[in-house]
Amino acid sequence: MSKTKMTAWVVFAFVIIAFAVSVALKGALVTVGAFLTLFIFSFLYKDNPYYKFAEHLFVGVSAAYWMCMGFWGTMVPNLFGKLYPPMVGGVLPALKDNPAEPFMIIPLILGILLLMRLAPNAGWISRWALAFIVGTTAGLNLVRYLRSDFIQQINNTTFSLYISSAAGFDFGQTMSNIVIFIGVLCGLIYFFFSKEHKGAFGAGARVGIIVLMVTFGASFGYTVMARISLLVGRMQFLFGDWLGMIK
């Protein structure tokens, strides 16, 4: 047996023993959670069989989780329950007496069309369902974005550049408003595709890039905190709930 293989077996034996001891001392539930946490964290060192185990388990469990949620949360109440309520009477008695909604046949047909791609020669028909989905998205988004992100943003950015308060001219606020106004304009210039970034236009685009860089740096720095608290939460679980070293 090679040396690396030996080490691997020693580590494996150690993990098994530690797991058994932990189950005996702390109970199975918290132990499972703690070991899975450690397995995931071990990825930071390098890829290893323990991470592989956690990863593969996670993939399997999560895929089934969403299938079940989709089945009981959407398929049963919203499709069967609306199409033919008596059918779900056994599992959702509350819906039994609702009137049927015949229009729900549309998603049923589209869903079946989608599954047709499993059939060898009728795969193309699944595109009808897809066309429906994409058409819906396009139609909804077209108006929604125009409304809330385009027109509403004009409204939000239309403010006075000259601010005076009770104490007189407010230099700080005026500067801030000017920076926002110019920042938005130059940021937009950067996004022009069909005009070369040259001359005055190019200068505007340069300012635009600078504004974007400030945005990216600031957003990044700002998020660090939230990410750290996630880790604190995990560490509290490991050292507090599991090892009992906190408090």
Partner 1 sequence: MKRTVPLAITFIVGTVLVLADFIPHKPFGNLGDDFSLYFDIIAVFAFLLGGGNLIRVHLTKINRKRPDWQFSIVTLVGFVVMLAAGIFKISNPEGIQGDVAAIGSLFNDLYMYIFTPLQASMFALLAFFVGSASYRAFRAKNIEATILLIAAFIILLGRTPFGLWLTEGLTGDLAFLQIPNLANWVMDVPNLAGQRAIMIGIALGVISMSLRVILGVERTYLGQDSD
Partner 2 sequence: MANNEVQNQSLIEKLQLIDRRIIFVFIACAVVIPLLVGATMEEETTPIVQAFFDYVENLPEDSRVLLSFDYGPTTAPEIQPMADAIVRHCAERKCKLYMMAVWATGHNLTGETIVNVLNPEFPDYKYGEEYVNLGYKAGNQGLIRLLLVDFKRMYSTDAAGTAIDSIPMMENINNLKNFDLIVSFGGGFPGIKEWVLYAGDPGNVPVGGGCTAVSAPLLYPYYPNQLIGLLGGAKGAAEYENALITAYPQYENKRMAGMSLMVSQTVSHMVIIFFIIFGNVLYFLHRSKQKANGIEGGQS
Partner 3 sequence: MKYILPGFLVALLLLMALSVTAIAQEQDETVGEDVDTLMQPIEQEPPPKPVITAGEDRPNDNGHKLTIYWDYPQEATGKIDYFEVYRAESPDGEFKLRGTSPSNYFEYFDIGDSDENAEDYLENDKDLYYKVVAVVEDGPSSESDVAGPYHAVGQWFHTGKVPVMIAVIIFAMFTIYFIQSARKGKDLFVRPLAGIEAVDEAIGRATEMGKPILYVLGIGTAADIATIASFTILGRVAKKVAEYQTDLIVPCYDAIVMSVAQDVVKSAYLEAGRPDQYSDDQVFFVTNAQFAYVAGVNGIMVRDLPATNFYLGYFAAESLILAETGNSIGAIQIAGTDQVTQIPFFVVACDYTLIGEELYAASAYLGRDPLLLGSLKAEDWGKAIFMVLLAFGVLAVAFGWEGFREIVRVNL
Taking only Cα atoms into account, the Rg of the chain, rounded to an integer number of angstroms, comes to 29
Q: Report CA-CA distances (Å) from 171 to 29, 117, 165, 167, 175.
A: 60, 65, 10, 11, 6
The verdict on 45 binding partner 1 (CB under 8 A) reads: no
Q: Which does 72 bind (CB under 5 to 8 A by kind): partner 1, partner 2, partner 3, none?
A: partner 1
What percent of the residues of the chain are helix, what percent strand, and what percent coil, each to the nearest 5?
80, 0, 20
Q: 98 to 157, contacts with partner 2 by CB under 8 A? A: none
C-beta closer to partner 2: residue 158 or 194: 158
Side chain identity at 123, as an amino acid letter?
Answer: G
Main-chain phi, psi angles of 169, to 5 degrees: -60, 125
The verdict on 20 binding partner 1 (CB under 8 A) reads: no
Main-chain phi, psi angles of 164, to 5 degrees: -125, 140
**Region of 109-117, 167-175, 185-193, 228-236 interacting with partner 2 (CB under 8 A):** 228-236
Contacts of 102 (CB under 8 A, 6+ apart): 83
Q: 167 to 196, contacts with partner 1 by CB under 8 A? A: 172, 176, 179-184, 186-188, 190-191
The verdict on 99 binding partner 3 (CB under 8 A) reads: yes
Q: Which residues bind partner 3 (CB under 8 A)?
A: 40, 43, 46-47, 51-52, 54-55, 58-63, 65-66, 98-99, 114, 117, 126-127, 130, 133-134, 136-138, 141-143, 146-148, 150-155, 157-162, 181, 184-185, 188, 191-197, 212, 215-217, 219-220, 223
